[in-house]
Amino acid sequence: MKASVWLGENKFEIQEINIPKLADEQVLVKVEKVGLCGTDVHITQGLYPSSPPKILGHEFSGVIVDVGSKILKDRIGQRVTCNTTSSCGNCINCLNWTISRCLNSEKSTGAFAEFSLMHSSSAIEIPKKMSFEVAAMTEPAACCLSGTEMIEYKDKPKILIIGSGIMGILCQLFVLKKDIDCLVVSEPNSFRRSIAKSLGANYVVDPFDNNYHEKLNEISEGIGFDIFIEAVGKPELLNEGISKLRPRGQALMIGVHPRESKLNSDLHDFHFKEIKLLGAFGRGNYFNKTPEKINEFNLEKLVTKTYKLEEINEAIESTAKGEGMKYMIAPNER
């Protein structure tokens, strides 16, 4: 099979490699669509730990084309979304943390390739009319669902989201299902602001407007927001959003911050106002139930462009620029 192998920094090479041999409880998936993730970009920039050579890609969907000896043959032909890890359900992490942190997990092989191998339980059948593009967004959507479910929603809260890239938009869609007063989205990119508005945000604001802070103060009635979600992964934006919270407000970190990032908030103010800071990373226990939840969101409009496997550098660059919404790769298209 063809695979795009990451060799370090921004270097990728298309290689012909053998399809891995199936273990008894594994399935082989022909990869249809793979989403580009900010983590993929951070890996090439040295901001997220990973060691080459490696096949990257972890947001994907496809069709099961072969199964191991202990898996029923009727799984062949199923249209699936693919979890990046399996879970045993019995280890201390599965029982006391989340199944996405399983100590005995089996990882799927990277999806920037024509085929991927994984434990059968990691290949989740998708609704019949769901496109492969939407199915490939299950992984980031599960992360956002898991994160937004950490928040306590009471007394019709006012919510501020900073960043309306794919993670911010998905968080927006989930919190709009709650009983809230209003949702404000802060985003400098006009295209992304328009998407946020079209998907139901009550207010969209440009952080570079001269009256930006006055607008937020007016919307929050001078008290501050009840909930803040940082969906970019920049410490300065986390700090800014925390400063916009009312006493006993809640801040959720859904954006992935680089290693050794520092929180530069006024800790006295943080302590005095009794702010709650929630770290959110990964799919929690929500991956399997996410396809049904996102099936009603009309996410096709979020796919900005789809690239061929050989165009991975262009796809990485487009994702890094942050001008569109979601970029994808179709490994089996020529």
> Does 138 share its domain with 164?
no
Residue 109 to residue 331: CA distance in whole angstroms: 14
> Does 136 share its domain with 159?
no
Do 171 and 231 contact (CB within 8 A), yes or no? yes
- The pLDDT of residue 334 is 80
- The pLDDT of residue 242 is 96
Residue 207 to residue 186: CA distance in whole angstroms: 6
For residue 132, which of 81, 187, 168 has the smallest C-alpha distance? 81
> Does 274 share its domain with 287?
no
Number of domains in the chain: 2
Percentage of the chain surpassing pLDDT 70?
100
Q: What is the CATH number of the domain that holds 211?
A: 3.40.50.720
Cα-atom radius of gyration of the chain, to the nearest Å?
20
> Does 98 share its domain with 197?
no
> Does 73 share its domain with 8?
yes
Is 92 a residue whose pLDDT tops 90? yes
- DSSP, res 47: S
- The pLDDT of residue 102 is 97
- The pLDDT of residue 105 is 97
pTM: 0.94
Query: Cβ–Cβ contacts within 10 Å for residue 283, how many?
Result: 26
> Does 243 share its domain with 274?
yes
Is 295 a residue whose pLDDT tops 90? yes
> Does 134 share its domain with 189?
no
Which domain covers residue 176, as residue numbers?
Answer: 151-279
> Does 159 share its domain with 177?
yes
DSSP string, 49-114: ---SSB----EEEEEEEEE-TTS-GGGTT-EEEE-SB---S-SHHHHHS-GGG-TT--BPPPSSBS
Q: Which two tokens stand for residue 78?
A: 């199923």
Task: Convert the pLDDT of each residue in 247-262 to its tens digit.
Answer: 999 999 999 888 888 9
Task: Convert the pLDDT of each residue in 310-330 to its tens digit.
Answer: 999 999 999 988 878 999 999
> Does 91 share its domain with 179?
no
> Does 288 share its domain with 271?
no
Is 11 a residue whose pLDDT tops 90? yes
> Does 131 share its domain with 208?
no
> Does 101 share its domain with 166?
no
Q: What is the CATH number of the domain that holds 78?
A: 3.90.180.10
Task: Convert the pLDDT of each residue in 217-272 to its tens digit.
Answer: 999 999 999 999 999 999 999 999 999 999 999 999 999 888 888 988 888 888 99
Of 263, 279, 295, the position where a domain reaches its end is 279
Q: Which two tokens stand for residue 179?
A: 């009983």
